A and B are shown apart, each in its own frame.
Chain A
């Protein structure tokens, strides 16, 4: 990982952020159970603490490589008339009061989408050095050269759990495959 704004150490203290991240992790586990890349997220409306959107990767089922957890959740939010109207009213700054909790750092695409929405805060589990947009590869969240406001971003919440869910996915065999490939040589690494 190149650089992430703040790395939070998990010290066994269950903050509100940890609680929300656990909800995101559950969605990642759900993704795993249906053969999708296990990344999950929730959007929280901070004034009420209400979870307004949930999502997990759906790239396999949709045959669309852009159906990341964030987009699933954003579409869920904007499919509701109530939030669509709130989001349309530029004087309300609806998204500024919204926080995203996602198990893996948003990719460059999602980071840009979040910025265009005008999201308030992003909390993530593990960084993504392949195409992370919140500090690992690009710094879309605080890039002064791009339009729209920058947003707060902080990683490290349940980082090890987020990684382990991913690893379990990759050592697992895909039982959906017509001729499942054995992955016996793959061993789950437990150290981080």
Chain B
């Protein structure tokens, strides 16, 4: 028992009233009477009043459980991306609005001879559309030019242009360093000596900074909000193309912009169709926040149908996937054409 090994000298009442709680053992290991006896024998009866305290037996599955359970016991929380999330009611209108917008873009895709597959990337902190792209594998004669790949590149292009027009050297160089740090955690850890990664203060800083990695620890929703607000401030102060012009946002965060705008970190992605494995992994590489899609693709889908790339335990980034968003309305949104919906049963990669 812990009490028995503590030398007497160390057990003296503290002058300030610090309430220290120590876990002694599992309640089933010793009867309450025997424990009280031990405490008494050690001369600690006046200082210690042992009690039985309930703690959660399993890790929390939902954020709600986490919020309640952490009061009883320090616990960590990683949202389980394997579960099928419900669309938050408060966001439903905005989400369906973006999905409708994506489906409306399939009309033009069809008339121009492309596959009616569309991707839209949105910054959830502002609900601004950052990029809208369609599948261009037909017109470019390049079968890998899927809507998602095009959309990730469209966001990158915006970033490149923003970097060019806004203190060209500083941001880009800063970004270089950041990307190198990010990729470091990404590429084969066994190839790079493990201790190099784990003891590095640089990596330590980065991990604390990075929203998805800190999720693994007990990241509170406050921390996410702080991150989002920062990102929002950063976006609006740095965007040069009129997407977000909230002038009341402070400019002081602009110097930290490249750090916060790493690839597509935290962005929402709206897809008319479930992405193939290539596109699903591209979204992992891009660190997106959430993905919403309408039509599942049984033959090749990477976010639920054939594989669950978004929640695979070996991969270093996870995100939530909302399936069949707007499933009933898609045909109407796209002008009553069934071509897009028919892809569901085709042997195609989206």
Bound complex: CA of A170 vs CA of B302, how far in Å? 31
Q: Give the residue name and chain of the A residue nearest to B142 (CB).
A: A78
* Contact status B276-A116, CB under 8 Å: yes
Decide: A108 near B281, CB < 8 A? Known: A65-B286, A177-B174.
yes
Nearest Cβ on chain A to B212's Cβ, whole angstroms: 13
* Contact status B277-A166, CB under 8 Å: no
| Interfacial chain A residues near B312, Cβ < 8 Å | 137-138
| Interfacial chain B residues near A84, Cβ < 8 Å | 141-142
A185's contact among B144, B200, B316, by CB below 8 Å, is which? B200
B285: Cβ under 8 A from any A Cβ: yes
Q: Give the residue name and chain of the A residue nearest to B306 (CB).
A: A145
Q: Which of B82-90, B152-160, B225-233, B321-329 contacts A (4 or more CB under 8 A)?
A: B152-160
* Contact status A138-B307, CB under 8 Å: yes
* Contact status B188-A127, CB under 8 Å: yes
For A122-135 the 0/1 string (1 means CB < 8 A from B) is 00001111111100
Number of A-B contacts (CB under 8 A): 169
| Interfacial chain B residues near A109, Cβ < 8 Å | 277-282, 284-285
| Interfacial chain A residues near B248, Cβ < 8 Å | none
Bound complex: CA of A79 vs CA of B120, how far in Å? 26
Q: Which of A3-11, A13-21, A40-48, A55-63 contacts B (4 or more CB under 8 A)?
A: A55-63
* Contact status B314-A137, CB under 8 Å: yes
* Contact status A88-B141, CB under 8 Å: yes
* Contact status B149-A63, CB under 8 Å: no
A112: Cβ under 8 A from any B Cβ: yes
* Contact status A183-B202, CB under 8 Å: yes
Decide: A128 near B187, CB < 8 A? Known: A112-B278, A138-B307.
yes
Bound complex: CA of A117 vs CA of B144, how far in Å? 8
Decide: A113 near B300, CB < 8 A? Known: A166-B191, A177-B177.
no
| Interfacial chain A residues near B286, Cβ < 8 Å | 65-66
| Interfacial chain B residues near A138, Cβ < 8 Å | 277, 307, 312
Decide: A181 near B202, CB < 8 A? Known: A112-B281, A129-B188.
yes
Nearest Cβ on chain A to B252's Cβ, whole angstroms: 18
* Contact status B191-A131, CB under 8 Å: no
A82: Cβ under 8 A from any B Cβ: no
Nearest Cβ on chain A to B47's Cβ, whole angstroms: 44
A12: Cβ under 8 A from any B Cβ: no
What are 21 A-B contacts defined by CB distance under 8 Å? Answer: A37-B187, A63-B159, A65-B282, A66-B153, A87-B141, A104-B191, A109-B280, A116-B278, A128-B191, A131-B314, A131-B315, A138-B307, A146-B277, A146-B299, A147-B348, A148-B349, A167-B191, A170-B184, A176-B177, A181-B177, A185-B199
